[in-house]
Structure 1
Amino acid sequence: MTMVFQNLREFLRYLDRTGQLVRVREPVSVDLEMAEITDRAMKLPGGGPALFFERPVLMDGTESDIPVAINVFGSWKRMAAALGVRDVEEHAARIADLIKPEIPKGLWGKMQMLPKLVELTKVPPRPFKGDPPCQEVILREGEFDLTKLPVLKTWPDDGGPFITLPMVITSDPETGIQNIGMYRMQVFGPTTTGMHWQQHKGGAGHYRAWKRGPGGRMPVVVAIGGDPATMYTPSAPLPPGIDEYLFGGFLRREPVYTAKAITCDLTIPAQAEIVLEGYVDTDEDLTIEGPFGDHTGFYTLEELYPVFHVTTVTMRADPVYPATLVGRPPVEDVYLGGATERMFLPLARLTIPEIVDYHMPPEGVFHNLVFVSIRKEYPGQAYKVMNGLWGLGLMSLAKVIVVVDEWIDVRNTQEAWWYALGNIDPERDVRIAKGPVDDLDHASQIPSFGSKMGIDGTKKWATEGFVRPWPEMIEMSPEIKERIDRIWPLLGIRPID
C-alpha cells in the first residue's frame, strides 16, 4: 500500500520512521560545511540517507531556528515514495495508458476507458478551505530578512548562498496560464535574489512576454517546500500548457490543494513551508549573478539575469527549509532526473514509436548524452530518430545521441557503449548537427548555440550500403545457461573482498 503525503513534514516523518533519514544534531554552517557533509552522503551506495540539519549556522555565525532538509529525493526508494508508488515505472505505465491512441470498440471497450477518465476528473487542483498552512505567518516589507533563512553556499567559488529547490511561479500576461519552474536563486541581500531564468525554460518565456507586453513589474511568487510530488513537478519537462498542479494531482491520485498569494493573482501550494512574494521589473537592468557550482560538475560563470524583489514572506509557524545540492555526479538530481526519464518515455514513444527505451546516464548530466534503443525496420532509421529527438522539447539540448538496436539494455551504459563502439565506422556513422544547447554548456563556441553529435550504433544493413558479412553477437546457449543456473549455488563462487 503506497502513501500520499500532504506536505514535506509528513514525508520527513515517514523517512525518519523507516530509517531513511539521519538527524544531524551538531551545529553545522550553511557556508560550505553543510554542502560537504551532504555531498559525502549523496555519494554513498544507493544515494545515502536524507539529512535533517537541526541547528544550521547562518553566514553571519548565528544559529537559525529553521532546520534544513536535504537529499530527501536522493534514492530510488525515496523518489518512488515521494511520487506515491513503489516504482516510478508505475507512473510511466499510467501515462502510457492515458495517451494510447486506440479508440475503444463496442460498449465494453468504452466502459473500460471510464475509470481512466474519471481518475483525471478527480485530480485538478482545489482551493484549500480556510487559512492555508503556508500563510500562518505573514511578514511585510521591513519585517523579514532573506539572509536569516538557512540558504546554503555550496561550493567555494559560488557568488553567495543560493536557493536550490524552489517552485518559481509566474504567469503568461496574455493567457494567464501559470508556469512553475525550478531555477536557482542567488540571495543578494535582505529583500532581493537573482532569478536564473535559462532562456529555454517557461519562466524566461513569461519574462519575455511581459517585457513585450505590459512591461514593468511582473508578479513572481516562489514557494519552498510542499507535498513531495508537487515539489518534484517543476523539474519535469511538461508539454506547454500542462498545469504542474494537475500533473502533481495525477501523480498523487488526489488533488493538490492551493491558495491565492497575498499580493498578486498567482496560485501557490497551500502546503508550502515558505513563500516569497514579489516581482521582477522587466524595465530594470539585469544584474550579475553567479558563479555557481552547477549540476554539470563545473562552475557556471557570472552572467546577467533579472533581480527578484521580495515584498512579502509567508510561512508556517515552524517551517522547514528544503534544499538540494548539485555538483559532480552522482548527487540527488540523479533520482529527480531519473524519474523524469522513466515517466516521460511514453510521450517520446508517442512521437517516435520505434523507440524501445532511452537512458540519460548521470555522467552525461542528462543533456550531454542520451542512449536510445530502437526497433529498426528500414535503412537510415537511426538518423530519423536522432532528428526526431532533437525536435522534441528540451531533448533539443541533447549534445550526443547514441542509437543502438532494440536488444541492447541502454540503462547498462557499459553494454550500450560496447555495442555502439563496436558497430561504428566514425566517418560513416557519426553526424554533426547545429542547434540550441543548454545555457550551462561551457564548451559551446557561442553561449546557448552549438553543435551536436549523433552516432548510429545499430547493426548496418546491405540497404544502407554495407556489403560485408555482419558478425553475430557472442551468446551462450540457453540450455547451458539454464543448467549452470541450477548448479551455481553449489559451486561456492563468490566475489572476493
Structure 2
Amino acid sequence: MKHFTDLRGYLDALRDLDDLVVVDREVDGDMETAAITRRSYEVRSPAPLFTNIRGARPGFRILGAPAAMSSREDMPYARIALSLGLQPDSTGLQIVDALADAQTREPIPPVVVESGPCQENVLLGDDATLDSFPIPIVHEKDGGRYANTWGALIVQTPDGEWTNWSIARVMKIDGKRMTGLVADGQHIGHVWNQWVEIGKPMPYALVQGAEPGVPYVAGFPLPDGAYDAGFLGALVGEPIELVKAKTVDLLVPATAEVVIEGHVSIERDAVEGPFGEAAGYHPMETSKQPTFHVEAITHRNDPIWPLVAEGRPPDEYHTVTCVGAASQCLARLREVKLPVSTVWSPMDSAGMWLVVTVPPNWREMMDPDTTSDTLAQYIGQTLFWNKAGLYFPQIFLLDDDIDPTDLAEVTWAIATRIHPVSKRVQMDSVILPLFVSHTDIEYKRGWGPRVVFDGLLAPIGERMAHTSFAASYPEELQRKVIENWA
C-alpha cells in the first residue's frame, strides 16, 4: 500500500505504469481537451496530461481521465486502486472489500499544517478571477463552461459540527461567479439549507487536483454526518494534511493544485445547465441553483486542473459511484448479518445495476424456512432505503459461482437464471433523476418502482454443473491443455 499525498506523485506512478501520456502539442482549451478525454475513455488509452493549452498561461496543465479505467489490460482498476492507496493490480472486488472494511474502522482525524503547496500563489479581490484559468466546455450542448467535474466541494454546517466533501457539477457564469447543483437530497443541499434558515451565505471551498483519494471519497455516498477526511485517513492508514483556507473558515487539502474560496447565495438565483450526464444521455433541462461567488483563488506553481468528460460508461462517475456505492451496500449487508459473498455494480450499466452474490450454502446460514424470495426481500428492504442503495433501481441476486465483475458471466447468469415474469421483488421508493428509464410522472414525484431479481440456483445437490472448461474436464487434462494450447 502506498498513500499518494499529492496529485503529482500519483501521476508519477501512472507514468511508471505507462498509463499517462503527456500531450505537448497545442490543443484548443474550449472543447478539444474534453473531446480527447472522452475519446480516451472509449478506447481505454492512457490518461492525457495537456501541457500546451491555447490561451492558457505557460505552465498551466489539464489532466484528463484522472481516475478512469486503466489502459493496462492486466490491471484495469489501477487508477482507482492507486487513488485509494491500494496496489495497482488490485481487482474490483478487492477494492470494494477494502472500502467496506475501512467503514468498520475508527476514522483517523486529519492534521492541520501551517502552510501547504496549495497556497504558493494567492489571488484576492479582482485578481481572483476564473478568467485566469482555461476552463473547458465539456460537451457541445452544455449550458456553459464547467469549472468543476472532478473537484471536491467543501462546506460546513453553521454550528461547525459537520464538514462535508462532495462532488457536484459547477458551471462558470463569469470570472467572479459560478452556479452548481445543490440538490435538497444531497449532503451539500442539507448543509446549504441550514445556512438558508439562518439567512447567511454559505462559505465554500472548491478544491481542484487534491491528492487522488480526496475526490474519490468526496464522491462516495457516505452516511449523513460522516467526516470524509477521517474516512480517507482510515482507508490509507494515516492522517490527511489540511491547511486553513485564506478567506473562509474551512480546512482544505494542503497539496491541492487549485482552491477556489467564497460564499454561496441563499437563493436559487442562477440558471444551471444543461450538462451531459452519467447515464449516457444529454438532457436539455436547466434548473435554478444558488450562485457561488468567487472571493479568493490559491494555487500551486504550474497548476494541474483535472477534467472529467462525463457520459456513457465508464468514466469517473462510474468508477466512483459503482465502486463506492457497492462497497457501502456490502458493508450494510454485512452489518445486518445477511450471508453475502460480495457486491458489485457493473460499470457498463451506468451504475443502474447492482449484483449481490451469496455462497452456495446460504440456506444453512439462515432460518430453515428462509426462501430465496425471502432473502431477496431482505436485501431490497436493506438497500432500497439506504443512501448507497438509492443509486440502483435494479438488483440482481446471484450465486457466487458468478464473478460479478465479469460482464459476460453476469449476462449469461441473467439470461439463464432470471425468470421472465416471476421470482422478483418489487418495492417503491425514492428514485433519482439519473434513472432515465422511469416515467415522467415518477420523475416529478421522485417516487417509483425498484426491483430485486432472484436468480438464485437450487440448493446444493440439486443444481446442474457448468459446461465450462474449468467445470467439464479433469484438472490434469486442464493443465495439459493449458501447457500446450495456452
1:77 aligns with 2:91: no
- Asked if structure 2 preserves the Cα contact closer than 8 Å seen for 1:79 and 1:339, the reply is no
Distance 1:152 1:449, change over 3 A: farther
Where do residues 53-452 of structure 1 align in structure 2 (5 Å cutoff)?
53-58=50-55, 65-74=59-68, 75=70, 76-86=77-87, 87=90, 123-129=108-114, 131-162=115-146, 163-211=148-196, 213-282=197-266, 284-300=267-283, 301-340=285-324, 343-344=327-328, 345-351=330-336, 353-366=338-351, 368-375=352-359, 376-377=362-363, 378-379=370-371, 380-444=374-438, 445=440, 446-447=443-444, 448-452=446-450
SS of aligned partner of 1:210: helix
TM-fit CA distance, 1:320: 1.4
Q: Which residue type is aligned with residue 198 of structure 1?
A: A
Deviates more, 1:330-339 or 1:388-397: 330-339
Task: Map Cα deviations across residues 137-193 of structure 1 (whole Å, 9 max, x no partner).
Answer: 221221132133122212110111112011101112245310000011011111111
Which has the higher Rg, Structure 1 or Structure 2? Answer: 1
Distance 1:97 1:80 in 2: 15
1:472 aligns with 2:464: yes
Distance 1:21 1:406, change over 3 A: closer
1:15 aligns with 2:8: no
Q: Unaligned regions of 5+ residues in structure 2, if any?
A: 71-76, 364-369
- Asked if structure 2 preserves the Cα contact closer than 8 Å seen for 1:419 and 1:457, the reply is yes
Task: Map Cα deviations across residues 87-135 of structure 1 (whole Å, 9 max, x no partner).
Answer: 27666555666677xxxxxxxxxxxxxxx87xx6xx3200113x32212
Superposition TM-score, scaled by structure 2 size: 0.86
SS of aligned partner of 1:187: strand
Count of aligned pairs:
457
TM-fit CA distance, 1:234: 0.2
Distance 1:138 1:85, change over 3 A: same
Matched residue, 2:367: none
Distance 1:247 1:35, change over 3 A: same
Distance 1:414 1:12, change over 3 A: closer
Distance 1:248 1:471, change over 3 A: closer
For the aligned residue pairs, the C-alpha RMSD in angstroms reads: 2.7
Q: Unaligned regions of 5+ residues in structure 1, if any?
A: 101-115, 462-468
TM-fit CA distance, 1:290: 0.8
TM-fit CA distance, 1:217: 0.9
TM-fit CA distance, 1:42: 1.9
Distance 1:348 1:232 in 2: 22
1:28 aligns with 2:27: yes
Distance 1:293 1:172, change over 3 A: same
Matched residue, 1:464: none
- Asked if structure 1 preserves the Cα contact closer than 8 Å seen for 2:326 and 2:345, the reply is no
Distance 1:291 1:478, change over 3 A: closer
Distance 2:116 2:381 in 1: 47
- Asked if structure 2 preserves the Cα contact closer than 8 Å seen for 1:193 and 1:307, the reply is yes
Matched residue, 1:466: none
Q: Which residue type is aligned with residue 5 of structure 1?
A: F
TM-fit CA distance, 1:402: 1.6
- Asked if structure 2 preserves the Cα contact closer than 8 Å seen for 1:64 and 1:150, the reply is no
- Asked if structure 2 preserves the Cα contact closer than 8 Å seen for 1:279 and 1:310, the reply is yes
Report the identity percentage.
Answer: 25
Q: Which residue type is aligned with residue 20 of structure 1?
A: D
Q: Which residue type is aligned with residue 120 of structure 2?
A: E
Distance 2:354 2:51 in 1: 39
SS of aligned partner of 1:72: coil
Distance 1:48 1:209 in 2: 44
Distance 1:442 1:306, change over 3 A: farther
TM-fit CA distance, 1:267: 1.2
